[in-house]
Amino acid sequence: MQLLRELSDLQHQNGYLSETTLKQLAQRRRLPLYRLEGLVSFYPQFRRTPPPRVTVRVCRDVTCAMAGCQTGIQRLRAALASDNDVEIEPVSCLGRCDHAPALTVNDVPLAPRTLNSGDPLLDDIRAAQDHSADPPRTPRRAWVCNPYETEADWYTTLAGCLADGDLPQTCIERLQASGLRGMGGAGFPTGRKWDLVRSQSSDTKFVICNADESEPGTFKDRVILQELPFLVIEGLLLAGLTVGADSGIVYIRHEYDQERASLEAAIAQARRQGILGSDAAGSGRAFDIEVFVSPGGYILGEETALLEALEDRRGEPRNKPPYPGTCGLNGQPTLINNVETLALATAIIHHGAPWWNAQGRDGFCGLKFVSVSGDVNQPGVYEIPMGLPIDELIALAGGMRDGQRVGAILPGGASSNFLTPEQLQTPLDFESVRDAGSMLGTGAVIVISDQHNLYDLATNLVRFFRNESCGKCVPCRLGTQHAVELLDQVGAGQVPESALAELTLLGETLEQTSICGLGQVALNPILSMLERFPEQRTRHEGFAV
């Protein structure tokens, strides 16, 4: 990861990566130039030409499309047409779906203001003042999973486990008894994963916090990093001491610069207190945490693609097996959990499994952070009991905007299947949402009013996966491209709707032959829309930004 870091530093210093810069780096590192070119051409954060004075990036994906990003981009371009030193670029999800349509100015998010904020927004774009280093100043809420009343109590879960004398066994037993599953989308049992890595005989192991959530509708980890960074740090520490690792890495998306600042401040404080370091929390073992900023791309949320980036390669998923638990970073056993999983693991290890099981509703167990976006009055991140019905979550988020009616729901983000208004009583739980014909995924609930055409929104979602495909495997690279072309042609009336029947076989092919989850789920939105909302095939608004 030192090579990617050096490329990022050079771009930060110069604004872009010139051919001269790359040649000098190649000579200094004694690397062939094509090695650097391969990295720079893969990661979207790198640029090869001098940047304008102001770069405005506007999200084009589903929640922002629903909020009118296409019209907003057109207005913005018209208002700034005379300024040749301003670049307006539609991009994939910025992780600010609660402030749609979201935008950044010189990579600084303007949330809570959005593209629809009017004239004051234009003034800020023209001024382009950089406050990227400022951590967010939002008040911390009272989260149920936070076991600490004051800052002085932080890390006492770790201290208690160390005092008991068998920290690894305590952590694994409590996690396994709780049934906690990974909250990054896959839902793999957390205690089993920790135990697997612990059982490996290698002297070198790693723990990684995956903070690269980049799927449209998903932004809960951003809020956890901002408000509960100490729980994530303690989760990494507990995991590291359990599995036998002496170092941890937080892999964070580059759009989360403010959250990175909050996390790094908390890491520095933990070092000053002796929680991190050569004798971590008085354990007699070394453990420290470093932060790695992703150079961009949704595919980096896939755990093996993330590992490839950390090893200074193009972030293309690996064939599995082997899995990271046995052969991960630098070929060593590696535990990878996402932000929410580590924070909740800390709470479970603190309170025990009975507490966790009591947090659910109507026989369900545990808590869940959910990102709520779309046509609700109060989009944001909510901590809910597992089993809460979807309609109660919508009420918790202030109900439907402008009194509109629910037209459809995506319960698990961009890769999940559409649910109908008749399924609003579905409890939010892994099995219940699966039985309803979709998936809970990361817990990114996108609420869609009946004022939107679902064909256009589903096409937007498939276009996202097409844009974000790494291109490594042929089925995903060509299949997603063909799907978007077909959807656009049908939407424009250039081919008959009967041609959409081809998508069923194409979706099966992608599911069975793609290397990673991106290709396997890329057509889920459109296939579920065609099955459950066939009447919406004919009316199109067009979100091709």
The 3-state DSSP class for residue 427 equals strand
Beta-sheet pairing, 247-252 with 288-293: parallel
Q: What is the CATH number of the domain that holds 87?
A: 3.40.30.10
Question: Quick one: pLDDT band at residue 82, thresholds 50, 70, 90?
Answer: confident
**Residue 193 and residue 330 in one domain:** yes
Residue 137 in any domain: the answer is: no
The rounded distance, in Å, linking the Cα atoms of 235 and 155 is 9
Q: Are residues 83 and 225 in the same domain?
A: no
**What's the total number of domains in the chain?**
5
Q: What is the CATH number of the domain that holds 489?
A: 1.20.1440.230
The answer as to whether 359 is a domain residue is: no
- Domain that residue 382 falls in: 364-449
pLDDT score of 543 more than 60 = no
* Tens of pLDDT, residues 303-331: 999 999 999 999 999 999 999 999 999 99
pTM summary value = 0.94
At 262-311, the pLDDT tens digits run: 999 999 999 999 999 999 999 999 999 999 999 989 999 999 999 999 99
Is 461 found in the same domain as 439? no
- Per-residue pLDDT reduced to its tens digit, 221-275: 999 999 999 999 999 999 999 999 999 999 999 999 999 999 999 999 999 999 9
Q: Which of 408, 430, 449 is a domain's end point?
A: 449
3-class secondary structure, 371: strand
Q: What is the arrangement of strands in the sheet containing 103-105, beginning at the earlier edge strand?
A: 86-91, 54-59, 103-105, 108-109
CB 59 within 8 A of CB 443: no
Residues 460, 515, single domain; the answer is: yes
Query: What is the strand order of the sheet 444-449 is part of?
Result: 380-385, 367-374, 444-449, 406-410
Q: Quote the tokens at residue 259.
A: 């959250």
Percent share of the chain, pLDDT over 90: 88
Query: What CA–CA distance (Å, rounded) separates 505 from 383?
Result: 39
Domain assignment of residue 141, yes or no: no
Residues 281 and 295 in one domain: yes
Cα angle 388-229-178, degrees, rounded to a multiple of 5: 45
Same domain, residue pair 374 and 282: no
Strand partners, 98: none
| CB neighbourhood size of 15 (10 A) | 14
Same-domain pairing of 323 and 463: no
Neighbours of 394 (CB within 10 A): 21
Q: What are the structure tokens assigned to 248, written together? A: 């941890």
